[in-house]
Structure 1
């Protein structure tokens, strides 16, 4: 069911003509009553004037108003006729049934959904979906309630997407929910657009608005994240300390400041690493005697 444009008539001229015809019919009806009272007939005039007046007033039922960014889907006895998008007061066949569909940009935020990520960890996730009806006929005839359809299918796509990725990035560089927001948003938008295509809906944007571990494992996962952060920091500190020790020994040897045997060299390396890798400032012990 694809959208088919349909022409319409401006409603203001129709209102003017219908009122003039109704007024003329009323005048003829009064004239017929006067003729009937004088015994000059007038019955047919009254019937004709009444019929014309009723038709003129009935034609006003074909009037309807369309707001900007709104469409009217018209059907005749269950058969789709076309879609009118001209804003203002419009007129079509009074027998057409009309259903108005907003084509404004709308958005909604899904509730916090509890799902399992790719690793099986329970997480809470929510998303903001920005969408718009682009085919009014599909929105009306292909689904029962397109707004409810958008909400349910968006949440279903969000669940499926969340279970396809881990919460945190692993060492293999795999895309993760927390570390790759742009890629995740694009995947979510594509998934929702695929599900809503039959309803004449375009997904403009889809972004994660809430992401967290489920409360029952949040504390344990926080400790794991802290441990990973500590390990990463320690690894970087040790790497930097080793580099500084190598530079210090190289400079001492190159400048001939002091010549150390292997035992004293090992002791110096140990002392430097303790100083550089310690959590707190070290308290040096000054040797006032000889080196040995």
Structure 2
């Protein structure tokens, strides 16, 4: 398929042509009146002026800021006009307005499988604009619908490249923890897909990311288990350090001499107190450790 390329179109100043149309409308009847012709000549002049002015008025079009008009002549592309203001072209030329302003699209939530095969729901927000009006009009059937379809396809492609979350100790890109990387990949993927339509994506980012409902409960329990394990690990490491400091302090200051059995009993008691979920109940030992 041949790729279209935008070229600069030519048009006439619309304000000058507006004066011409007014002159055409009023000229024939004024000439008939000045020449002193019969009343029928005046009527014919009015009809001729009205028909010509109506024909010429078809060529007028207005361009607003960040707007372009694609001009064709009998199906042949004759350029794009982007200059603001009132313009005029020959009445037999076709004109199609194209907005080159930034468009904002919030995609629908789609269900896909991540890299590990887990079903997830994902959605994104995309800011795009038309950079080449010729490609947007001639190379795709409906460029707005084309953008919507390619956004969903690009979102599925990027979402399937990475896991939702990191379940291992390896440092890898994840959809939940690497937002900047994923968003940049999404921009590059969409720009590559929309290049054929002359569309440029300025911004793209995930707006919704969650496990699908069928596995959300299981994944929540896994996350809770990970949190409990991490908390317990931190508590145990801290308790071991505290016990070690206590034993070293007792031995260094000569407060009490502990043999291996007493040392083991003290370590056990301190670990139970420091790592337990509930407050410890003190028990007064009136005898010895060997009773």
TM normalised by structure 1 equals 0.90
Which secondary structure does the structure 2 equivalent of 1:34 belong to?
A: coil
User: Please, which of 68, 76, 82 is the counterpart of residue 85 of structure 1?
Assistant: 82
1:269 corresponds in structure 2 to: 267
5+ unaligned residues in a row in structure 2: which ranges? none
The number of residue pairs the alignment matches comes to 286
SS of the equivalent of 1:119 reads coil
Task: Provide the residue aligned with 2:249 in structure 1.
Answer: 251
Instruction: Please say which of residues 144-153 and 179-188 is displaced more in the overlay.
Output: 179-188
Q: Structure 1 residues 36, 147: closer, same or farther in 2, change over 3 A?
A: closer
Q: Deviations over 1:46-66 (max 9, x none)?
A: 989866764444222110011
Partners of 2:62 and 2:33 in 1: how far apart?
Answer: 34
Instruction: Tell me, yes or no, if the aligned pair for 1:72 and 1:85 is still in contact at 8 Å.
Output: yes
Q: Does 1:61 align with 2:64?
A: no
CA 1:171 to 1:29, structure 2 compared with 1: closer, same or farther past 3 Å? Answer: farther
Give the one of 94, 99, 102 matched to 2:96. 99
Distance 2:32 2:286 in 1: 131
Question: SS of the residue aligned with 1:125?
Answer: strand
Q: TM-score, normalised by structure 2?
A: 0.90
Decide whether the 8 Å contact of 1:114 with 1:125 is kept in 2: yes
1:240 is aligned to 2:238: yes
Whether the aligned pair in 2 keeps the contact of 1:26 and 1:53 (CA below 8 Å) is no
Aligned pair partner of 2:209 in 211, 215, 234: 211
- Deviation, 1:173, is 1.3
SS at match of 1:247: helix
Distance in structure 2 (CA, Å) of the matches to 1:35 and 1:188: 75
**How far off its partner does 1:94 sit?**
2.2
- 2:18 pairs with 1:15: yes
Residue in structure 2 matched with residue 260 of structure 1 by the alignment: 258
In structure 1, how many angstroms separate the alpha carbons of the residues matched to 2:265 and 2:23?
Answer: 112
Give the direction of change, closer, same or farther, for the CA distance of 1:49–1:31 in structure 2 (3 Å limit): farther
Q: Distance in 1 between the 2:120 and 2:257 partners?
A: 60
CA deviation digits over 1:176-212, x for unaligned, max 9?
1111111111111111111011111111111111111
Which residue does 2:119 correspond to in 1?
A: 122
What whole-Å deviation, never above 9, does each CA across 1:198-232 have from its counterpart, x for those lacking one? 11111111111111111111111111111111111
Q: Look up the match of 2:30.
A: 27
**Aligned-residue RMSD, C-alpha:** 2.3
Secondary structure of the residue that 2:219 maps to in structure 1?
helix
Q: Which runs of 5+ in 1 are unaligned?
A: none
Query: How far has the Cα of 1:254 moved from its partner?
Result: 2.0
